[in-house]
Structure 1
Amino acid sequence: MTGATSGIGREAAAELLRRDAQLHLVMLARGATGRVTLTELQSIRSDVTLVETDLASAASVRAAAETVRRRLDSGDLPPLGGIVGNAGVSFNDAQRSTPDGYETTFAVNVLANHMLLGELAPGLTSPARIVITVSDTHFGDLKHGGGLFKLRWSDPDVLARPGAFPRPGASSAGRSAYATSKLAAIYLVHEWARRLPDGVDIGQAPDGVDIVAYNPALVPGTGLSRDGGLTRIFMRYVTRPLAATPLLDSVPAAGRRLADVILGGATAPTGSYIDRTRAVRSSEESYDPDRERALWEYAERLRTSAAI
């Protein structure tokens, strides 16, 4: 599981340990933060392992996956029963670069997820579920995100590089990068759902593995607005007053819902978009087989090459 050190991921991790006595949680997280969370979670149950990982570094992601595989093969970890890609970043610009030269939002929210799945999915033990946390900002409309998140799809190689959006130093570009990366994550879920049953191009992943996208909706207090600007104003003055109503979830409630999805409580066909508690259609733009295939092939070339 990535993204288990804060927000809904931290709540979900604790829920998983409380609910499933057979579960051993492997966190992929950065050093100091990961070690603090490891201690906190082990106070619930000792079956927690930390593998230090920087999701913005392809070398670090590869090394983490290799560590997990090695420990699975040695029996140091129990069989791999699921993968949760919950980590995500957003910034007030779209011009930050990873050590590999990729735009950080796209690298963490999209490429790191694909790399982890490509490296680990063949080792899953059926039945298993893969969950990727997405966002309803991928609609890019007024209803979802107050109209602050504008989509701008382009060739994956363009989106993966700094400066893909107009005025890349502006906060509007940062919001576009975030929303577009979440659209890309849904594309990957759709394409992985097509490829998982027969193992096409991904190794011999077993039957009985499904993959779903989980949308927690807007959840005040997750840190999405930490870079300030219009997003912070929207979260503070528009969504925060609604947190106590059925329209939005608190961080603990969203974490419990994520745990439900991970444990299979939300019944949904593979490839589904689960909005809080139920499978619904994602945006019309999110159903595009040509984009889905092109993005998967681009991310797969990067995964299997020395370029990232």
Structure 2
Amino acid sequence: MHTIVMTGATGGIGRAAAHEMLRADPDLHLVVMSRPGVPGTDAPQLDSGIGRSTPIATDLADIDSIQAAVHEVTRQLDDGSLPPLVGIVGNAGLQFVDALHETVDGLESTFAVNVVANHLLLRGLLDRLSSPARIVITVSDTHFGDLRHNLGMVPAPRWSSPSVLSRPRAFDEPGTVRAGRRAYSTSKLAAIHLVHEWARRLPEGVDIVAYNPSFVPGTGLVRAAGLRDRLVGRWLLPAVAISPTIDRIPTAGKKLADVVLGHTRTASGSYVDRTRVVASSDESYDPDRERELWDFLEGLAGLRTTASQ
């Protein structure tokens, strides 16, 4: 038996992936980190009563909550309540209709959940990973910022210092949907930077992969949108959903599960577009940015650790 820790397993692509992972791997025990009270997180609902999942209450927008959840997972690993840890899946993600939402730690919520939470989770559990192990972070092709990848619905990322990006009002007209979506695409660019930097630092036998599900109708990308995007969602997307270039939720979930379980072969640091290893955007390859982001996130973790002692 072995354990995989997963965020974002309570709905959409993540829930479909969780079911597929438990079906395909009879030796898997899945630890699901999610906010308390979220429907579908209790073990019988998630694993159909087979007893191979454990919910851990976690608010990914709260650093203290993440650290408490990591402590609980490590405790259960150390006392044998959980089998050895062989994987971490950072699938949770947020997108808001503005860039004003702020966490209890004073961080912009999109950046906090899509970037900071992943780093803190990996940092906290790294020492408990048993080789060979795989880490998968769900990203988005919106980070390309072009019409081909986002149908014109999401503005291109706009990079600046992580100390700026991590705070509310980092983008022009922060109260608008456009700013909220730019915060999303920028956070997904940051997540790819993070994957690259982790790939350089992980020990032998532990790899990390960025998974892009592409556009999946039904996951809420166009909610609270303007008239044009609502029309696209109502008329265009149902038509293109039958295209081989766009997946339904169950299909995208299976492809995520295949990446997590190693059925999709790829080197550490790779960008997997559904089933194919491809290059992410030219902008996403920037060692200086990646190092700066790493240092900033390490600072957040270090400051909170110091403050908690």
TM exceeding 0.5: yes
1:138 aligns with 2:143: yes
What is the match of residue 244 of structure 1? 242
- Does the residue aligned with 1:265 lie in a helix, a strand or coil? coil
Q: Which runs of 5+ in 1 are unaligned?
A: 198-206
What is the match of residue 170 of structure 1? 176
State whether residues 92 and 227 of structure 1, in contact with CA within 8 Å, keep that contact through their aligned partners in structure 2. yes
1:214 aligns with 2:215: no
| TM-score, normalised by the number of residues in structure 2 | 0.93
Q: Deviations over 1:48-82 (max 9, x none)?
A: 00000000000000000000000000000000010
State whether residues 14 and 44 of structure 1, in contact with CA within 8 Å, keep that contact through their aligned partners in structure 2. no
- Does the residue aligned with 1:100 lie in a helix, a strand or coil? coil
State whether residues 22 and 30 of structure 2, in contact with CA within 8 Å, keep that contact through their aligned partners in structure 1. yes
State whether residues 77 and 85 of structure 2, in contact with CA within 8 Å, keep that contact through their aligned partners in structure 1. yes
In the alignment, the residues of structure 2 paired with residue 263 and residue 50 of structure 1 have an alpha-carbon distance, to the nearest angstrom, of 20
What is the match of residue 69 of structure 2? 64
TM-superposed deviation, 1:33 = 1.2
| TM-score, normalised by the number of residues in structure 1 | 0.94
1:80 aligns with 2:98: no
Aligned pair count reads 299
RMSD (Å), alpha carbons: 1.4
1:40 aligns with 2:45: yes
2:134 corresponds, among 108, 129, 134, to 129
Specify the code of the residue in structure 1 equivalent to 2:145: G
What is the match of residue 3 of structure 2? none
Distance 1:145 1:37, change over 3 A: farther
Segment of structure 1 superposing worse, 146-155 or 157-166: 146-155
Distance 1:99 1:298, change over 3 A: same
1:269 corresponds, among 267, 270, 293, to 267
1:92 aligns with 2:104: no
Q: Which runs of 5+ in 2 are unaligned?
A: 1-5
Segments of 4+ moved more than 6 angstroms: none
Q: Deviations over 1:274-297 (max 9, x none)?
A: 000011000000000000000011
TM-superposed deviation, 1:222 = 1.2
Specify the code of the residue in structure 2 equivalent to 1:275: D
1:220-299 to 2 correspondences below 5 Å: 220-229=217-226, 231-299=229-297
- Does the residue aligned with 1:82 lie in a helix, a strand or coil? strand
State whether residues 43 and 51 of structure 2, in contact with CA within 8 Å, keep that contact through their aligned partners in structure 1. no
TM-superposed deviation, 1:144 = 1.1
State whether residues 17 and 45 of structure 1, in contact with CA within 8 Å, keep that contact through their aligned partners in structure 2. no
- Does the residue aligned with 1:116 lie in a helix, a strand or coil? helix
Specify the code of the residue in structure 1 equivalent to 2:182: S
1:192 aligns with 2:190: no
Q: Deviations over 1:81-112 (max 9, x none)?
A: 10000000001100100011100000000000
What is the match of residue 201 of structure 1? none
Distance 1:164 1:275, change over 3 A: same
State whether residues 36 and 57 of structure 2, in contact with CA within 8 Å, keep that contact through their aligned partners in structure 1. yes
- Percent of aligned pairs sharing the same letter: 58
